[in-house]
Amino acid sequence: MPQIEETVDRILSLLKGFDGCAVAFSGGVDSAVVAKAAQLALKDRAVAVTAVSPSLAAEELSTSRQVAKIIGIRHEILQTRELENPEYSANSPRRCYHCKNELYAEIHKNMGRWRTDVMLNGANLDDCEDYRPGLEAAADWNVRSPLAECGLHKADVRRLAKYWELPVWNKPATPCLSSRIAYGEEVNEDRLAMIDRAEQYLRKAGYGTVRVRYHKGDLARVEVPGDRVGELGDPETRERLIAEFHKIGFRYVCLDLEGFRSGSQNLVLPLSLKR
């Protein structure tokens, strides 16, 4: 696979120019590829860093630990406190900036202890074409994006992950739980826990990639794959779901007939922000 090998050479050549690196590591496909490349290029001078807070789904920490172990990279866990920042909890469209700013600040505090000289993230070229205020925080902290710098799109990253036999190569994107809360609605621990429990229920029921979007008045907008939407109209299935969601704390439960689509909360943003 000459093209893949050329891509590997390009990324490793870039990373070998650093004395040591700290990878912002969620355990998803993008950060896993960066962590794998960092481990190959820098060995014990690379560290993967996972931030833990109420906005991280319970299953994601376990995944990040498993993937880091498979890669063989040193793995550090940091507690972040973005919910204590009123600008984050207010949940404006710039919420992600405040989240990433907290993450990079915490990583930066520990770089001397880890003997690293640069922070890396998993941003690829597709991310750079979307509304991602977190990339502004990355720029503020001089965080490098080796996937984007090497010209990789999301599809390229998945191919590279498969080539390296990383188990998350086809893992769906799993943004933080706060991304499920409608802009302008407060982000707090209770709401994040409700969303996490509701999505776990749907996944355990076999619906795969799902989103439970929180809207004003404790309303849940449920997104499941489009070809599974009809199943939730079955009376018995619907009644079980409603009972479970009420127990979790939602007052109203709505099914989104368009089905799952990534970033649907951003549909309300003005076009000037999406460009």
Residues 157-211 have pLDDT tens digits of 999 999 999 999 999 888 999 999 999 999 999 999 999 999 999 999 999 999 9
Confidence at residue 130, expressed as pLDDT on a 0 to 100 scale? 77
pLDDT of the residue at 273: 53
Distance CA 37, CA 249 (A): 43
Which one is predicted more confidently, 263 or 148?
Answer: 148
Domains of the chain: 2-163 (3.40.50.620), 177-268 (3.30.70)
pLDDT tens digits for 92-138? 999 999 999 999 999 999 999 999 999 999 999 999 887 889 999 99
79 pairs with which residues across the strands?
52
What's the confidence (pLDDT) of residue 275? 45
Confidence of residue 271 (pLDDT cuts 50, 70, 90): very low
Per residue in 9-35, pLDDT (tens digit) is 999 999 999 999 999 999 999 999 999
**Nearest-CA neighbor of 83 among 196, 214, 193, 189?**
189
Check pLDDT > 60 for residue 264.
no
pLDDT in tens, 201-244: 999 999 999 999 999 999 999 999 999 999 999 999 999 999 99
Model confidence at 266: pLDDT above 60: no
> String of b and e for 67-97 (b: at least 16 CB within 10 Å)?
bbeebebbbbebebebbebeebbebebbbbb
Please report the pLDDT score of residue 262 as a whole number: 72
pLDDT band of 268, cuts 50, 70, 90: low
Report the predicted TM-score, pTM, of the whole model to 2 decimal places. 0.91
